[in-house]
Amino acid sequence: MSNLEEKQISSEKLLSAKIINVRRDKVLSPKGECFREVVEHSGGVVILPYIDKDNIILIKQWRYAAGQELIELPAGKLEPKEDPFECAKRELTEETGYKAKSWNSLGYIYTSPGFCNEKLYLYKASDLEYAGTNFDEFETIENLITPIKKAYEMIASGKIVDSKTICALCHAKIEDTL
Helices (H), the chain: 84-96, 148-157, 163-177
pLDDT value at 85 more than 80? yes
Angle between helices 148-157 and 163-177 (to 10 degrees): 130
Distance CA 74, CA 81 (A): 21
**Cα–Cα distance for residue pair 60/168, rounded to 1 Å:** 16
Q: Which residues are catalytic?
A: 137
128, 98 contact by CB (below 8 A): yes
Burial label, 118 (beta-carbon count in 10 A; 0-12, 13-18, 19+): buried
The confidence score (pLDDT) of residue 42 equals: 96
pLDDT, one tens digit per residue, over 122-155 is 999 999 999 987 777 777 999 999 999 999 999 9
pLDDT band at 33 (very low <50, low <70, confident <90, very high): very high
* pLDDT (mean) for 18-45: 97
The pLDDT tens digits for 48-76 are: 999 999 999 999 999 999 999 999 999 99
pTM over 0.75: yes
Whether the predicted pLDDT of 177 surpasses 60: yes
Give the separation between CA 72 and CA 39, rounded to whole angstroms: 23
